[in-house]
Homo-oligomer: A and B are copies of this chain.
């Protein structure tokens, strides 16, 4: 099962391993540490089914715990320290953690959780003592592929975080198929044993998209660090010759701002988590970064990857109608685009609908949440809450979050996509599409634009009509009104504050600004 990955890495790739800060631990030594830790944890009573919370940044010790707990049949709960204390406590109660293993920077947060989980092991001192005490005999607990490996949580952008159980087989199959799909199709982000990988996705998010498993499996080295500002990332990339990394688009954006030109070495990047815009992809590719895009989530694990056979590019080709990537389901994944009645839409129609996935590693339910389970998990399929368009060749384009889209006359308008298309107009600096209640259609879109130069509403509408004629968007997506604003209201993280914007819509002018 999962620990076998490290056993094999230790045999096959004895000179690869983990960089943590300035220290390198080759896989055989890492395995010895893991076995020793595992044996001492067992004497503490941690065994099959024990749920162990881990509160740490992406560290070597956190990685080791994936294997040490795995050997014991214990269940890891990687704590998401980005949650509010309230939500974090909620996840601990949901997962029913009976131990907490705490990284050096999280001791005060851990203190606040002491009443919920009294048994703590702190890093580095207590942790290292456990490693030192352990014997080197391999733990020999029988493991089945259907045994639970870990509990993951959604980030809970709408409501409470929701828990899913990952079994050993889910972790293995999902990690393998990501690597294999990238390799089979000669993707630009194919990871190999020559790579040093940098995992910028916190382990609390579906185990950093599986990197603690993928790196040993392919025999790559992995660079980890407690904290990684964009400047730290660049230093790490240069110092450790990082050649492969995973991240969300906003991390890529900040990284690009800090990267020296020319880059000097190969950098392959797997991007996911939210839409990669045309502009950002182009900027990265111009720097020589080799990109691939992955689609998935905590509640479905990996589902699709942009690794089409044939010419490899993330930029839309002449025949593409969307400014977004077309993703190919991984082997073992089926994807359907469904309408409001949950009927699969024929890919020929090119209509937007909700993305449903079915896979060999799909969790069965949201733990302790029958309502959410009934809504999202049906007959082996999972409702992703994402909107997409299906294509005849089996690929799918993810165009929006369902909750952010507008429903007009019973049909979806992908707000995110429409904003991207409008932002391709040079004169437009920022754009937001908002929903307005409409007696006939239910909702209708209006656009709010912040312009760089004078731009008449007629020009915007004419531009969108061209997009309609080019088959990029349906005609009913064209906003009913264009509003002009001098400066967009922003949230604390720099996103457009749509609620605030909506509240002042009737004060905005429909006259273009200079």
In the bound complex, do residue A4 and residue B309 qualify as a contact, i.e. CB atoms below 8 Å apart? no
Taking CB atoms, residues of chain B closer than 8 Å to A219 are: 309
Which one of A175-183, A247-255, A399-407 contacts B? Answer: A175-183
Q: Does A410 interact with chain B (Cβ within 8 Å)? A: no
A4-B334 contact given A180-B176, A183-B184, CB 8 Å threshold: yes
Nearest CB of chain B from residue A497's CB, rounded to whole Å: 42
Nearest CB in chain B to that of A360: its residue? B145
Nearest CB in chain B to that of A10: its residue? B394
Q: Does A44 interact with chain B (Cβ within 8 Å)? A: no
Q: Does A392 interact with chain B (Cβ within 8 Å)? A: yes
Q: Does A417 interact with chain B (Cβ within 8 Å)? A: no
Query: Mask for A415-441, Cβ within 8 A of B = 1, else 0?
Result: 000000000000000000000000000
Q: Does A339 interact with chain B (Cβ within 8 Å)? A: no
Among candidates B218, B334, B394, residue contacting A184 with C-beta atoms closer than 8 Å: B218
Q: Does A318 interact with chain B (Cβ within 8 Å)? A: no
Query: Mask for A87-131, Cβ within 8 A of B = 1, else 0?
Result: 000000000000000000000000000000000000000000000
In the bound complex, do residue A11 and residue B393 qualify as a contact, i.e. CB atoms below 8 Å apart? yes
Nearest CB of chain B from residue A229's CB, rounded to whole Å: 33
Taking CB atoms, residues of chain B closer than 8 Å to A360 are: 145, 169, 172
Q: Does A332 interact with chain B (Cβ within 8 Å)? A: yes
- Footprint of B on A, CB under 8 Å? 4, 8, 11-13, 145, 169, 172, 176-177, 179-180, 183-184, 192-193, 217-219, 309, 328, 331-332, 334, 347, 360, 392-394
In the bound complex, do residue B394 and residue A8 qualify as a contact, i.e. CB atoms below 8 Å apart? yes
A8 to B172, CA, bound (A): 23
A328 to B13, CA, bound (A): 13
A11-B394 contact given A219-B309, A334-B4, CB 8 Å threshold: yes
Nearest CB of chain B from residue A299's CB, rounded to whole Å: 20
A116 to B475, CA, bound (A): 65
A332 to B309, CA, bound (A): 26
In the bound complex, do residue A179 and residue B169 qualify as a contact, i.e. CB atoms below 8 Å apart? no
Taking CB atoms, residues of chain B closer than 8 Å to A172 are: 331-332, 360
A11-B392 contact given A176-B180, A184-B180, A217-B331, CB 8 Å threshold: yes
Nearest CB in chain B to that of A331: its residue? B176
Nearest CB in chain B to that of A175: its residue? B331
- Top 8 A-B residue pairs of the complex, sorted by shortest distance between their CB atoms: A180-B180, A11-B394, A183-B184, A183-B183, A11-B393, A12-B393, A193-B309, A176-B331
Taking CB atoms, residues of chain B closer than 8 Å to A193 are: 309
Nearest CB of chain B from residue A379's CB, rounded to whole Å: 8
Nearest CB in chain B to that of A390: its residue? B11
A12 to B347, CA, bound (A): 13
A11 to B391, CA, bound (A): 9
List 15 interface pairs A-B (beta carbons < 8 Å), by A numbering.
A11-B393, A12-B309, A12-B328, A12-B393, A12-B394, A13-B309, A145-B360, A169-B360, A172-B360, A176-B177, A177-B180, A180-B184, A183-B183, A183-B184, A184-B184
Taking CB atoms, residues of chain B closer than 8 Å to A217 are: 331
Taking CB atoms, residues of chain B closer than 8 Å to A331 are: 172, 176, 217
A84 to B343, CA, bound (A): 52
A12 to B360, CA, bound (A): 21
A40 to B402, CA, bound (A): 41
Nearest CB of chain B from residue A319's CB, rounded to whole Å: 15
Nearest CB of chain B from residue A41's CB, rounded to whole Å: 23
Of A218, A328, A394, the most chain B CB neighbours within 10 A belong to: A394
A177 to B183, CA, bound (A): 12
A101 to B219, CA, bound (A): 47
Taking CB atoms, residues of chain B closer than 8 Å to A8 are: 394
Nearest CB in chain B to that of A5: its residue? B331
Nearest CB of chain B from residue A215's CB, rounded to whole Å: 14
A218 to B183, CA, bound (A): 12
A11 to B326, CA, bound (A): 14
Taking CB atoms, residues of chain B closer than 8 Å to A218 are: 184
Q: Given A13-B309, A176-B331, A219-B309, list of 9 further CB < 8 A pairs? A: A8-B394, A11-B392, A12-B309, A12-B328, A145-B360, A172-B331, A176-B177, A179-B184, A180-B180
Taking CB atoms, residues of chain B closer than 8 Å to A12 are: 309, 328, 393-394
Nearest CB of chain B from residue A6's CB, rounded to whole Å: 12
